[in-house]
Amino acid sequence: MRAIVISAFGGPEVLTVTELPDPRPAEGEVLIRVMAFGLNHAETYMRSGAWGEVAQVTGIECAGVVAEDPSGQLAEGTTVVAILGGMGRTRNGSYAELVTVPATNVVPVRAALPWGELTAVPEVYATAWSGLHGNLALQPSETVLVRGATSSLGQAAVNLAADHGATVVATTRDPDRAGLLREIGAHEVLVDDGRLAEQVRARRIEVDAVLDIVGNSVLRDSLATVRPRGRVCQLGFLGGLAPVQDFAPLADLPSGVQLSFFGSAFVLGTAEFPLSAIPFEAIYAKVADGTYRARPTRQFAFDEIVEAHRVMAAGQAVGKMVVTLD
């Protein structure tokens, strides 16, 4: 099979198309013929070496058809999406024509959408859903601030929260993208200058919950943005992986404010965080009818993977990008 391998840790140019033996599924695994795979920031960390030793083939999600399921649960040819389960970290991932995935991380889908659109959904919507409903327990009457809203994960969160009935305050560093965020459900858009707490107070916005995709670089400010006894969930690192220097709960964590983290790459598909808890069928139905604007902003061919990573690294995606196979 053709596969894209990390030839050495580094920039996009280290991604190399090569031939590898076809994988075979073990008990409890499903072999998938990949038709498309999503592009995620996690894969840039794997490629660069920021996450240490990882699998030779990266990629944490895909859409395709079942090539073989030793358990017999999924018939050959069944349309599926797959996410995580160690893909790209502890086992070869989805940047390939074939991939084996733990059965717990494979979901059959019935939506009649093109492959690129099918694969634009799983990782970002499963992660956003888990953060909004699992960590933040967001209620329709509440106001949620989505920090990093123009990312693919951020746009999924805005879609989900607005459809849930919540008031959504979305942030972007680019004022020109405010219109996009309003189109997908944001009630108000703030330009993120690193001092959102000041803007929120000046506008007298009471924020019940913050979904922070920017990460450690703005954590203190995000904690100061939410109301007393509000909630903050961190689930991304768009601002980089550097730790929060000298974080002290006494000084930095407001009394009564709840801080949590959701690391989808490590838990989705486990017994504690099963994919069955994510309403994929309902999500795909709303993508199909246009309720959620989840279609990819750009599609690349398999041999264009280096350019795809260059665009992603430059922050030019403005939404989900995918790779479709012939």
Q: Which residues contact 146 (CB under 8 A, 6 or more apart)?
A: 154, 157, 158, 161, 168, 169, 170, 171, 186, 211, 213
Shared-domain flag, residues 147 and 32: no
3-state secondary structure 213-262: CCCHHHHHHHHHHCCCCCEEEECCCCCCCCCCCCCCHHHHCCCCCEEEEC
Kindly state whether residues 200 and 308 are assigned to the same domain.
Answer: no
Q: Is residue 279 part of a domain?
A: no
Q: Which of 140-154, 187-201, 227-241 has the lowest mean pLDDT?
A: 227-241
Residue owning tokens 């280290």: 14
The answer to whether residue 132 scores a pLDDT higher than 90 is yes
Same domain, 128 and 104: no
Assigned domain for 276 exists: no
Query: Would residue 285 count as lying in a domain?
Result: no
Claim to verify: residue 129 and residue 242 sit in the same structural domain: yes
Among 265, 287, 315, identify where a domain stops: 265
Residue 117 covered by a domain: no
Q: Quick one: 86 and 19 in the same domain?
A: yes
Mean pLDDT (whole number) for 79-85: 97
Looking at 242, 265, 288, the residue that finishes a domain is 265
68 forms bridges with which residues in the sheet? 31
| Mean per-residue pLDDT, 6-19 | 97
Quick check: is 162 in a domain? yes
135 close to 231: Cβ distance less than 8 angstroms: yes
Residue 139 and residue 252 in one domain: yes
Do 206 and 230 reside in the same domain of the chain?
Answer: yes
**Distance separating alpha carbons of residues 146 and 131, to the nearest angstrom:** 11
Q: With bands split at pLDDT 50, 70 and 90, how would you rate the model's confidence at 241?
A: confident
Confidence at residue 316, expressed as pLDDT on a 0 to 100 scale: 78
Q: What CATH number does residue 205 fall under?
A: 3.40.50.720
Kindly state whether residue 289 falls inside one of the protein's structural domains.
Answer: no
CATH number at residue 47: 3.90.180.10
Predicted local distance difference test score (pLDDT) of residue 238:
85
Helix axes 122-129, 280-288, angle to 10 degrees: 120
pTM of the model: 0.94
pLDDT number for residue 314: 85
Per-residue model confidence as pLDDT tens digits over 143-193:
999 999 999 999 999 999 999 999 999 999 999 999 999 999 999 999 999
Q: How far apart are CA 63 and CA 85, in angstroms?
A: 14
Count of domains for the chain: 2
Q: Is the pLDDT of residue 326 over 80?
A: no
- 168 in a structural domain: yes
Domain edge (last residue) among 245, 265, 285: 265
d(CA 89, CA 270): 16
Same domain membership, residue 131 and residue 100: no
Do 88 and 191 reside in the same domain of the chain? Answer: no
Residue 241 and residue 145 in one domain: yes
Q: C-alpha angle 66/307/105, rounded to 5°?
A: 25
Q: Is 20 found in the same domain as 97?
A: yes
Boundaries of domain holding 229: 123-265
Q: Let me know whether 157 and 179 are in one domain.
A: yes
Neighbours of 103 (CB within 10 A): 18
CB atoms within 10 A of CB 321: 22
Q: Are strands 231-234 and 258-261 parallel, antiparallel or unpaired?
A: parallel
Q: Tell whether 278 is covered by a domain.
A: no
* The pLDDT value given to residue 168: 98
